[in-house]
C-alpha cells in the first residue's frame, strides 16, 4: 500500500465536497514534509530520533553492560555523577545502588521501553483494527458483541488489567507486551470501528459492492486505507501511553526482572534514596522518560493537525 487512499477500482465519491480522509489526497511523503515543516513536530522527531538511536546503539556506546551481573560491583553503588569507578572509568551520570552505570542503564532501559511500547502498540493495532473493521462491516450481532466487550474492557483502568495479568503470567518482556496488548487493543478497535462505519456507508463502498468484490477486499483495500489517518494518530499517542504504562508497572515492581531494569524500575530504585540526596538515580531516567513521552506526543499532535480533514476544508 504505497498510498493510503481509494483504490483505482473504486468509483469516485458522489458526495461533492465530502472528504473521506484528508490523507487520501496527501501521500505519505506529503504528510512527512508537512510534519517536518511543523517546528514542534520537528523538535519531537529530533528528540525521539536521538533517543531511538541511543537505544539502538546501546551495546556499542554504553560504557557498561548493566544487565551482566558479573560486570557490576555494588561497592561502587550510589556514586554521584562524574565519579571514578574502582577500575578507573568515569560514571558520567553516577551509579545506582547496585553499582550500575546510570548512563548505560538508561540506554539499555530505553531499549526495553521502546521495544515494549512499539511492539505492544503494533500488535494491539493489528488486533484492534481487525476487530473494529469486522465490527463495523458486519454490524448486527457481531458488532454488538464486539463493542460490548470493548465497553467492558474500557470501563476497567488499564493499569488494573495489566496488574492482574502480570500477577498471573509472571515477569518478562514478552509477558508485559502481552499484558499491554490486552489492555490497549480496545482503543484501536473503537477508533477504527467509528471511521469504518462512516466509510462503509459511502458511495465508493456501494460501488465496490456492486462490482461483487469480496468482503475481504472491500474491507482491507477500500475501507481500511481510509480509516488510517485517525488510526495513525491514536497509535502514536498509544505508543507513548504504553511506554508510560510499562514504566508504571516496573515502578510497582511487577513488570520486568530487577536485573534488567527499564526506565520505570530505575526511577523506582532511586525513589527511596531521594530523601538521602542521591537524586541522580531517579532524576536522569525520569528526565529521559519525560523527553521520550513529550517527543512522541509532539509528533502525535502535529499528525493530528495535519490529518484533520477540517483543517484543509
Q: Does 74 bind other proteins (CB under 8 A)?
A: yes
The C-alpha angle with vertex 55 and arms to 51 and 61, in degrees rounded to 5, equals 110
- Hey, CA dihedral for 160, 164, 167, 169, is it positive or negative? negative
Q: Does residue 164 interact with other proteins by CB under 8 A? A: no
- Which range in 127-135, 223-231, 241-249, 275-283 contacts other proteins by CB under 8 A? 275-283
Q: Is 275 in the site for other proteins (CB under 8 A)?
A: yes
Nearest Cα residue to 188 out of 137, 134, 231, 145: 231
Under the binding rule (CB under 8 A), the answer on residue 276 touching other proteins is yes
Which of residues 73 and 308 has its CB atom nearest to other proteins in the complex?
73
Q: Does 155 bind other proteins (CB under 8 A)?
A: no
Binders of other proteins among residues 167 to 186 (CB under 8 A) are 167, 171
Compute the 3-state secondary structure of the chain and give helix, strand, coil in percent, each to the nearest 5. Answer: 70, 0, 25
Which helix H or strand E contains 90, and what residues bound it?
Answer: strand 90-91
Closest CA to 180 of 123, 261, 260: 123
The SS3 call for residue 284 is: helix
The contacts of residue 57 (CB under 8 Å, 6+ apart) are none
Tell me the per-residue interface mask from 99 to 118 with other proteins, x by CB under 8 A, - otherwise.
x-------------------
Minimum distance, C-beta of residue 265 to other proteins, in the bound complex (Å): 10
**CA neighbours closer than 13 Å in the CB half-sphere of residue 254:** 17
**Phi and psi, residue 8, nearest 5°:** -60, -30
Residue with Cβ nearer other proteins (60 or 69) = 69
| Least distance from other proteins to the Cβ atom of residue 286, Å | 17
81 interacts with other proteins by CB under 8 A: no
Say whether residue 87 binds other proteins (CB under 8 A). no
With CB under 8 A as the contact rule, the residue among 144, 145, 160, 258 that binds other proteins is 258
- Residue 1 binds to other proteins (criterion: CB under 8 A): no
Longest dimension (CA), the chain: 76
CB of 95 to other proteins, least distance (A): 11
At 95, give phi and psi (nearest 5°). -130, 160
- Give me the residue label for grid cell 560514571: 91
Query: Of the two residues 53 and 272, which places its CB atom closer to other proteins in the complex?
Result: 272
- Of the ranges 18-26, 201-209, 271-279, 289-297, which one interacts with other proteins (CB under 8 A)? 271-279
- 75 touches other proteins by CB under 8 A: yes
Which residue, 74 or 156, has its beta carbon nearer to other proteins? 74
Spatial separation of the C-alpha atoms in residues 263 and 172, rounded to whole Å: 15
Tell the smallest beta-carbon distance from residue 273 to other proteins (Å): 5
C-alpha cell, 21 = 480522509
Measured from the Cβ of residue 72, the count of other Cβ atoms closer than 10 Å reads 21
Q: How many CA atoms lie within 13 A of 22 on its CB side?
A: 18
98 near other proteins, judged by CB under 8 A: yes
In the shown chain, the binding pattern of residues 202 to 241 toward other proteins, with x for contact by CB under 8 A and - for none, equals: ----------------------------------------
- Which is nearer to other proteins, 102 or 233 (by Cβ)? 102
**Contact residues for other proteins (CB under 8 A)?**
68-70, 72-75, 77, 97-99, 167, 171, 253-254, 257-259, 272-273, 275-277
Amino acid at each position: 500500500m504505497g498510498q493510503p487512499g481509494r483504490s483505482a477500482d473504486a468509483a469516485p465519491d458522489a458526495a461533492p465536497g465530502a472528504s473521506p480522509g484528508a490523507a487520501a489526497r496527501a501521500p505519505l511523503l506529503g504528510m512527512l514534509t508537512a510534519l517536518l515543516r511543523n517546528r514542534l513536530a520537528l523538535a519531537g522527531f529530533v528528540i525521539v530520533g536521538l533517543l531511538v538511536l541511543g537505544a539502538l546503539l546501546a551495546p556499542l556506546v554504553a560504557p557498561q553492560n548493566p544487565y551482566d551481573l558479573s560486570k557490576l560491583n555494588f561497592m561502587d553503588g550510589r556514586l554521584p555523577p562524574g565519579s571514578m569507578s574502582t577500575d578507573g572509568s568515569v560514571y558520567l551520570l553516577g551509579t545506582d545502588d547496585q553499582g550500575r552505570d546510570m548512563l548505560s542503564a538508561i540506554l539499555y532501559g530505553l531499549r526495553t521501553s521502546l521495544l515494549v511500547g512499539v511492539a505492544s502498540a503494533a500488535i494491539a493495532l493489528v488486533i484492534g483494527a481487525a476487530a473494529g473493521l469486522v465490527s463495523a462491516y458486519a454490524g448486527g450481532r457481531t458488532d454488538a458483541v464486539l463493542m460490548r466487550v470493548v465497553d467492558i474492557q474500557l470501563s476497567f483502568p488499564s493499569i488494573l488489567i495489566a496488574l492482574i495479568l502480570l500477577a498471573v503470567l509472571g515477569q518478562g518482556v514478552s509477558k508485559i507486551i502481552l499484558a499491554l496488548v490486552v489492555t490497549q487493543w480496545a482503543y484501536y478497535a473503537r477508533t477504527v470501528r467509528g471511521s469504518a462505519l462512516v466509510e462503509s456507508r459511502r458511495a465508493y463502498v456501494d460501488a465496490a459492492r456492486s462490482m461483487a468484490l469480496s468482503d475481504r477486499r472491500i474491507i482491507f483495500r477500500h475501507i481500511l486505507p481510509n480509516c488510517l489517518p485517525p488510526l495513525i494518530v491514536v497509535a502514536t499517542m498509544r505508543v507513548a501511553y504504553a511506554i508510560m504504562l510499562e514504566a508504571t508497572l516496573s515502578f510497582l515492581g511487577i513488570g520486568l526482572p530487577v536485573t534488567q531494569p527499564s526506565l520505570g524500575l530505575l526511577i523506582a530504585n532511586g525513589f527511596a534514596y531521594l530523601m538521602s540526596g542521591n537524586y541522580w538515580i531517579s532524576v536522569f531516567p525520569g528526565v529521559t522518560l519525560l523527553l521520550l513521552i513529550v517527543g512522541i506526543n509532539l509528533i502525535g499532535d502535529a499528525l493530528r493537525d495535519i490529518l484533520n480533514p477540517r483543517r484543509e476544508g
